[in-house]
C-alpha cells in the first residue's frame, strides 16, 4: 500500500510511505494556495493508493489565525477535490487524533523525533521556525 500523508498548512508537508520508498517534502504554495501542478507531478510520480490529510484548524488567539485558517482551508479543499477527481481514497484526520495514535504531543518537535525514529533514512523537513 502506497500512502500519502499531508499536512495542508502553509508550513505543511507531504510524505509518501510505501513498502519500497519513503519520501518527505514541504508543500509548495503559490500565493495563498497550494500549487496543484506540483501536487499533480508528485502524485503521478509517487502513485499513492490512498491519502491521509490533516484537517486544518485555526489556532484561537494566534495573531494570523483567521488568514492561516482561510489559506489552509482553501488549499485543503483544493487538495480534497483533486484526489477525489483522481479517484484516490482520502481519509481526513484531526491533528489530535493522529498525534495521540502516534504517541506524540502537540509540540511539533515530538512529531519530528517520532518520524525520525520510524523512518531513519528519510531526510526530514524540520519545522521552518527551527531553520
Is 84 in contact with 99 (CB distance < 8 Å)?
no
pLDDT of 130 reads 35
- What is the CATH code of the structural domain delimited by 3-130? 3.30.420.10
pLDDT of 45 reads 94
Q: Is the pLDDT of residue 61 over 80?
A: no
* pTM (two decimals): 0.78
Is 34 in contact with 28 (CB distance < 8 Å)?
yes
How is residue 95 written as a grid cell? 491533528
Amino acid at each position: 500500500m502506497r500512502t500519502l500523508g499531508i499536512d495542508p498548512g502553509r508550513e505543511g508537508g507531504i510524505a509518501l510511505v510505501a513498502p519500497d520508498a519513503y519520501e518527505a517534502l514541504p508543500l509548495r504554495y503559490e500565493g495563498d494556495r497550494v500549487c496543484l501542478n506540483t501536487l499533480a507531478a508528485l502524485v503521478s510520480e509517487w502513485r499513492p493508493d490512498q491519502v491521509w490529510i490533516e484537517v486544518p484548524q485555526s489556532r484561537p488567539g494566534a495573531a494570523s489565525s483567521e488568514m492561516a485558517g482561510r489559506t489552509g482551508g482553501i488549499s485543503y479543499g483544493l487538495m480534497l477535490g483533486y484526489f477525489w477527481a483522481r479517484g484516490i481514497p482520502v481519509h481526513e484526520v484531526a491533528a489530535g487524533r493522529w498525534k495521540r495514535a502516534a504517541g506524540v504531543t502537540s509540540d511539533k518537535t515530538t512529531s519530528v523525533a517520532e518520524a525520525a525514529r520510524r523512518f531513519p533514512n528519510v531526510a526530514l523537513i524540520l519545522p521552518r521556525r527551527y531553520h
